Chains A and B, each alone.
Chain A
């Protein structure tokens, strides 16, 4: 059944959480994502599905509530924006270390520090390189539309339980605040059976379940690390997602993610009108990164321009993927400034075509 609505990104994402059969949301207000908890409180999903929503005393508490609920084998999630996400990093590291599933949403704003409340992509490194302490990875999904904000919530819970790993939805102030048409998926049932790794109370005849990220013996900790790394290789094999536009005849390539990819698409259309054969690759998963796809395109084009609302973060992963095959440059606006299609086209002409 098609259910088409015009919704704000943040509100659509919150509705998707209810429909994905989430059991619990714990959060703390911060601009530009407070609509998520506001929407959930208004909808009162405990009456619709039994889903719990709680406003925690801090982002730190919220992520640890997620940790507790996730350890019970439940679909738990939290959301925040950049400064709040920094506070959550300790908890995320524990959740990754204890190999629990959960969904994290970062509606990114400009930084560092308190920064600005305007849209940004400057948390790319934090999201894809771990963020907290220790060797761990999150699967990072980067929606570019309100529709993807919705679809990725369902996907995120599926991946979280498939890999017992935290999943990050890396949104930004544009995707969170804008309204678009969105098709909502049908209500999914909440989980009824707890997985065997969940703390549910010790049953006779089985050992107690211990949820922990602590191994005092180095030999044991190394085994944990090796197991995590094996899992990440599996994720890299199975879960790469990306989209390409007009790459077949492309002589140049844009690489951009999230809302910035949409602005870049506009620049691509303008370039095409001028006769510049430029395509666009938009990674939908920032980790795992579409290394092979970019490497292949690198053999075809004369240069690649990454366009980001940061000072140059994804460009490093693009360069690693390209591995010297072609020129890779970065164009960015930051601090809450949004690049215009004109600027992007100009940067392509200056840095890649003319450079």
Chain B
């Protein structure tokens, strides 16, 4: 009988308590759900739920505060690092993170991103890069690849007129305020586990007041890219990863 098997000693997986039971609004196959889970598990495993304050962005993860069971503030578009700065400065002992997409972090919020990193704010910035504006319906993002189609680059991104994709993670890694900068993905169980390790490391560094930790997660957007989830993951591996190679960019010496 199955009922007899459901016992604490037989448990191999349990949803972290840092995620609420609310059904996520993300599209099927989207990377946000896994990214949320990795961050929530990292917070849970380090015992930080009661002292964590998160900052949600504007974009697909605008409602992230419904899913993370921690105190959260919803920031204006691009302003999450400034909001997080305000929180961290009045609560230096709390754990503070922002969770932002590419449009939020690397277009409208570039100034806030760079200056928070340059001040070395003791916060974790989680950056979801899927190369597209998901929530507004698939427009070009600052990280959209050359030639990549979107509703505002219907013939593909023409870098001569639309500019180049911005490798903001490499850019902020140059700043003395950043301590740990890495690029990960969550499209396979192995990658998801690596992402969680990186997030845990970043949260631990925050406790040690080491400076800004920055975890980019390259993610798929099946709806925006107009692909099935499986196709989108394959496309990501073949197109996104060569341009945005996975791995640590800045590690503590």
Contact = CB atoms under 8 A, between A and B. Distances in A.
| Direct A–B contact in the complex, CB atoms closer than 8 angstroms | yes
A202 B43 CA distance: 12
Most buried by B among A60, A66, A202: A202
A211 interface: yes
Contacts of A60: 79, 82, 111-112
Interface in A241-262: none
Interface stretch (A10-18, A68-76, A341-349): A68-76
A44 interface: no
A72 B75 contact: no
A100 to B, nearest CB: 9
A200 B62 contact: no
Interface residues of B, number: 35
A24 B89 CA distance: 8
Size class of the contact patch on chain A: 35 or more
Contact of A64 (B20, B63, B71, B76): B76
Contacts of A62: 82
Nearest to A204: B50
A64 B74 contact: no
B85 A54 contact: yes
A34 interface: no
A98 B76 CA distance: 11
A61 B71 CA distance: 21
Contact of B87 (A199, A202, A208, A216): A199
Contacts of B63: 214, 216
B89 A199 contact: no
A56 to B, nearest CB: 7
B74 A213 contact: yes
Interface of A: 23-24, 26, 52, 54, 56-58, 60-62, 64-72, 74, 76, 90-91, 94, 98, 199-204, 208-214, 216
Given A64-B76, A91-B76, 7 more contacts: A60-B112, A62-B82, A65-B86, A65-B89, A72-B86, A202-B52, A212-B56
21 contacts: A58-B111, A61-B115, A65-B82, A65-B86, A66-B86, A68-B73, A68-B75, A68-B85, A68-B87, A71-B83, A71-B86, A71-B87, A72-B53, A91-B76, A94-B76, A98-B73, A199-B71, A201-B49, A201-B53, A210-B73, A213-B74
